[in-house]
Structure 1
Amino acid sequence: MTLALNPSNVASVGALTATLAPTSPTSTFAPERKDIPGVPRILGVGTAVTEHSYSQRELLDLFRISDPKVRSVFLNSAIERRFLSVPARDATGTTIIETQGELLAKHKRLAIEMAARAIHACLKDAGIELADVGYLCCVTTTGLLTPGLSALLIRELGMDPRCSRVDVVGMGCNAGLNALNATVGWTVAHPGRIAVMVCAEACSAAYVLDATMRTSVVNSLFGDGAAAVALAADTPDAAGPPDAPSGYAGLGTDVDVGSPPAGSPRVLSFASCLITDAIDAMRYDWDDEQGKFSFYLDPDVPYVVGAHAESVVDRLLSGAGLRRSDIAHWLVHSGGKKVIDAVRVNLGLTRHDVRHTTGVLRDYGNVSSGSFLFSYERLLREGVVRAGDHGVLMTMGPGSTIETALVQW
């Protein structure tokens, strides 16, 4: 598929692209008044990666890639290093090709391990015990698991088996905000209870090694990573709702989030955009020759995403009476150099605005659904956030889809 776009004119390409699918009004969870209970907050964040990182040049040498076009793709990606779990090599140093079954087993192992460490780091950051968690939402696209990652993690971590859970599978790089939306909804329905969302993407388990440019572009971009956030909604009574259903009572503990630190923003609203005419622009296909799934990225994806960024962001902000100039912090998915540039140009952002997005791409590559949380963690560690600041979270992925969220510290 080739989309009829002119990549030379990113800023004005919106007039040439597909019509937006019908969308519902911006979903809003939080009133502006901060003394009203039931407003969800992000209480902590944690990230994790696999054991080994590689520079792009090291990967080219490791896989013995000599094609100058492929080497150019790797070396001009704005990525310096990525964490990957590369295949074993035989006695001659040749990479041993993994079967689809071996890739699925790799995904299971890496996803559980990374997710567990990200959750522990997140809870430590929030000052919350594992026993406090009453809801677990798990996101992954790089492999299929049944039972789902949530069930496997509850067993692995020794969590209460009564913990409510949900798995978001196959939605791609945008899925972190889809899952955050669902997790926020649970916290609003259960004020004072702790929910955790974790994105675990073992991109090493989704690679096809062949000589095509299609797979080379994918293989130059993605890295392994997991990211988790803990959330809770305000409650006027730390003892919890007296009419909690008996099947839920006693699971986890209520928390008092009435006076959170500056690093705990309220989640105000979400807005989505599904670009139906570009629904095949990012997808998994079954490769009969390789005997495994192969990911496809249309070359025009950056321009499609960039062209539709304005409409969804403006809709998100208009619901709160804000303009783009009112946003102090932009945390955009590290989808790739061209994607970031297209979004930046169309939204009128500076390079400083997307410094964490580009920094995460440089140091980790595209870690899919959890990328924006790597940027979020870096922003908090930077120590520049002030009370009252607004921030926009933005992810993009298959569909083609743009997801956004508005937060306020």
Structure 2
Amino acid sequence: MTMTADLPTPLSATAGLPHPGALATAPHTALDVPGVARVVGVGTAVPPTSYSQQDLLDIFRIEDPRIRSIFLNSAIDRRFLTLPPQGEDGTRVLEKQGELLAKHKAQGIDMGVRAVEECLKDAGAELSDIGYLCCVTSTGFLTPGLSALLIRELGISRHCSRIDIVGMGCNAGLNALNAVNGWARAHPGQLAVMVCIESCSAAYVFDGTMRTSVVNSLFGDGSAAVALVAGERDGRDEPPAALPAVAVEPVPEPRILKFASCVITDAVDAMRYDWDAEQDRFSFYLDPHVPYVVGAHAEIVVDRLLEGTGLRRSDIAHWLVHSGGKKVIDAVMVNLGLTRYDLRHTTGVLRDYGNLSSGSFLFSYERLLKEGVARPGEYCVLMTMGPGSTIETALVRW
């Protein structure tokens, strides 16, 4: 997501402080049910090359002050990208649709492999442990899909169950997580892996228009994988290691408790990826009113997520929102009454990577884990936004 209109900045003196839910563990609720799936590993990967926004303006020789302003006021410092090759005159050669698709395939396999490997390392698992593989992408279309290609590339069992979720957009990571969560709960002890693979470099159009310039200023390439399991993991019943002399309460793996969605049908065309006949390729379109649409519905879907749980928004210690763009993040913050501290990882990922589409929230989740602040009993809300227009949410608890 991105947006082109300014929103008011919250003036609260507590904007940089933790959300109240982070200051005390919320009470347990009726959500304590057996058999829920938990997150046991996460891993991310990006291309080897990154560029600042100024680098990109220089490389593509962009002089239009309106376009330069979009790039330089995006709250993005760097993005990982695979740019078109250079021609003899030093300018970038515009790739044809077939070349873009080849880039999507090659880079997607490379990033997907590395993200899955990092995820399994984090989970203490092997390739042979994977019982289900879900691949998510919106930056290209392949048949066979990335799931079959990754199974071959990684040497995963050819009997592994799999699914490809293609074209849902930036919200798709939580749509897919819902499906993977269902499979894990139906197959206790077996490892289910979801990997989001977005080669946004393979979906750019360079035509000098404001429409494409907004998109070109925002998206980056990246892949993120997450592993789930319900119950005791198969083959993992070894006795636990001895506790240290000074006992420290272990932080449990976060459990996935609930999902909630909201499709904003009146804005179904506000975000889309469709054929541009003039450019002879696919092209993104983002309506400038997207941040207002998302912000106006954020409270509705979060209230639905918490309905029947006995929880209030103030009970949520952690918020991991899709890094859709500066103004859509601001819109969510204002409408949900969040602080800059609540969304520090969301804005940090946007700053360091740009909008990574479906996998953005997992980059934020990885940062939250490395921060080491989550405590047993704390709740977290995950939120993604994308075409439809759609807001997806999930509730987890450590």
**TM-score between both structures, scaled by the size of structure 2:** 0.89
Q: Cα gap change, 1:167/1:256 in structure 2, threshold over 3 Å: closer, same or farther?
A: farther
Q: Cα gap change, 1:257/1:395 in structure 2, threshold over 3 Å: closer, same or farther?
A: farther
Q: Which residue matches 1:208?
A: 205
Distance 1:89 1:56 in 2: 18
Q: 2:381 aligns with which of 375, 381, 392?
A: 392
Distance 1:182 1:343 in 2: 25
Q: Which runs of 5+ in 2 are unaligned?
A: 11-28, 241-248
1:297 pairs with 2:294: no
* Alpha-carbon contact 1:199-1:228 (below 8 Å) kept: yes
Q: 1:350 aligns with which of 324, 327, 339?
A: 339
Residue 211 of structure 1 deviates from its aligned partner by 0.9
SS at match of 2:62: coil
1:39 pairs with 2:36: yes
Distance 1:8 1:77 in 2: 13
Residue 257 of structure 1 deviates from its aligned partner by 11
Amino acid at match of 1:389: E
* Alpha-carbon contact 2:171-2:392 (below 8 Å) kept: yes
- Superposed counterparts of 1:26-105, under 5 Å: 32-33=31-32, 36=34, 38-105=35-102
* Alpha-carbon contact 2:322-2:385 (below 8 Å) kept: yes
Q: Which residue matches 2:244?
A: none
Q: Cα gap change, 1:157/1:394 in structure 2, threshold over 3 Å: closer, same or farther?
A: same
Distance 1:211 1:365 in 2: 20
* Alpha-carbon contact 2:7-2:330 (below 8 Å) kept: no
* Alpha-carbon contact 1:192-1:256 (below 8 Å) kept: no
SS at match of 1:173: coil
Q: Which residue matches 2:104?
A: 107
Q: Which has the higher contact order (CA 8 A, sep 6+)?
A: 2
Residue 31 of structure 1 deviates from its aligned partner by 5.8
* Alpha-carbon contact 1:263-1:385 (below 8 Å) kept: no
SS at match of 2:170: helix
Distance 2:319 2:237 in 1: 28
Residue 318 of structure 1 deviates from its aligned partner by 1.9
Q: Which runs of 5+ in 1 are unaligned?
A: 1-5, 12-29, 239-252
Write out per-residue CA displacement over residues 338-381 of structure 1, whole angstroms, 9 at most, x where no aligned residue. 00000000000000000000000000000000000000000000
Residue 285 of structure 1 deviates from its aligned partner by 2.1
Amino acid at match of 2:52: S
Q: 2:327 aligns with which of 338, 355, 358?
A: 338
Distance 2:239 2:287 in 1: 46
Q: Which residue matches 1:244?
A: none
* Alpha-carbon contact 2:109-2:150 (below 8 Å) kept: yes
Residue 134 of structure 1 deviates from its aligned partner by 0.3
1:168 pairs with 2:157: no
Q: 1:405 aligns with which of 381, 386, 394?
A: 394
Q: Which residue matches 1:232?
A: 229
1:363 pairs with 2:360: no
Q: Which residue matches 2:365?
A: 376
Q: Which residue matches 1:220?
A: 217
Distance 2:293 2:361 in 1: 20
Q: 2:185 aligns with which of 173, 185, 188?
A: 188
Aligned-CA RMSD value: 2.1
Distance 2:236 2:147 in 1: 23
Residue 327 of structure 1 deviates from its aligned partner by 0.3
* Alpha-carbon contact 2:6-2:327 (below 8 Å) kept: no
Q: 1:262 aligns with which of 241, 251, 264?
A: 251
* Alpha-carbon contact 1:263-1:380 (below 8 Å) kept: no
- Superposed counterparts of 1:254-333, under 5 Å: 254-255=235-236, 262=251, 264-333=253-322
Write out per-residue CA displacement over residues 39-61 of structure 1, whole angstroms, 9 at most, x where no aligned residue. 10000100000110000000000
Residue 81 of structure 1 deviates from its aligned partner by 0.1
Amino acid at match of 1:167: D
Q: Cα gap change, 1:10/1:104 in structure 2, threshold over 3 Å: closer, same or farther?
A: same
Q: Which residue matches 1:24?
A: none
Q: Cα gap change, 1:256/1:43 in structure 2, threshold over 3 Å: closer, same or farther?
A: farther
Residue 258 of structure 1 deviates from its aligned partner by 12
Residue 32 of structure 1 deviates from its aligned partner by 3.0
Q: Cα gap change, 1:64/1:124 in structure 2, threshold over 3 Å: closer, same or farther?
A: same
Distance 2:111 2:239 in 1: 31
Q: Which residue matches 2:134?
A: 137
* Alpha-carbon contact 1:203-1:224 (below 8 Å) kept: yes
Identity %: 72
Amino acid at match of 1:151: A
SS at match of 1:209: coil
1:149 pairs with 2:138: no
Write out per-residue CA displacement over residues 91-149 of structure 1, whole angstroms, 9 at most, x where no aligned residue. 21111010000000000011111011000000100101110000000000000010010
* Alpha-carbon contact 2:193-2:225 (below 8 Å) kept: yes
Amino acid at match of 1:85: T
Q: Cα gap change, 1:92/1:261 in structure 2, threshold over 3 Å: closer, same or farther?
A: farther
SS at match of 1:105: helix
Q: Cα gap change, 1:257/1:227 in structure 2, threshold over 3 Å: closer, same or farther?
A: farther
Residue 255 of structure 1 deviates from its aligned partner by 4.2
Aligned pairs, how many? 369
